[in-house]
């Protein structure tokens, strides 16, 4: 089998090299990428905090319904306040 060698193509005079060939990206593409990553990351953090708070509130509600079925809302408010969180 013959050895093959790649010969790079030289740009014609006055022609700028393609950005895909050099591997560099303009600054605005990096900026857009960073903004998208930050936006997606902050949304995921917000979603996880929201879901965690919702699941904790469901657990508190279930426990209060078992212990004090006649005053569930009062029990929920008391437990949330004692844990240091605000209900509304």
Those residues with Cβ within 8 angstroms of residue 68's Cβ, 6 or more apart along the chain or in another chain: 74, 75
Residue 62 and residue 8: Cα distance in Å, rounded? 70
Contact indicator for 64, 76 with CB cutoff of 8 Å: yes
Is the overall model pTM greater than 0.85, yes or no? no
* Token duo for residue 14: 């006055």
Instruction: Give Cα 59 to chain centroid, integer Å.
Output: 26
Q: Per residue of the chain (88 residues), what is the pLDDT tens digit?
A: 578 787 888 767 665 555 555 567 788 899 999 999 999 999 999 999 999 999 999 999 999 999 988 999 999 999 989 988 765 4
């Amino acid at each position: 089998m013959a050895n093959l060698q790649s010969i790079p193509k030289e740009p014609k005079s006055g022609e700028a090299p393609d950005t895909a060939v050099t591997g560099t990206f303009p600054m605005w593409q990096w900026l857009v990428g960073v903004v998208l990553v930050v936006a997606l990351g902050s949304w995921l953090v917000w979603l996880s905090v929201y879901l965690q708070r919702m699941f904790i509130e469901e657990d508190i509600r279930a426990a209060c319904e078992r212990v004090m079925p006649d005053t569930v809302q009062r029990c929920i408010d008391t437990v949330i306040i004692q844990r240091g969180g605000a209900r509304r």
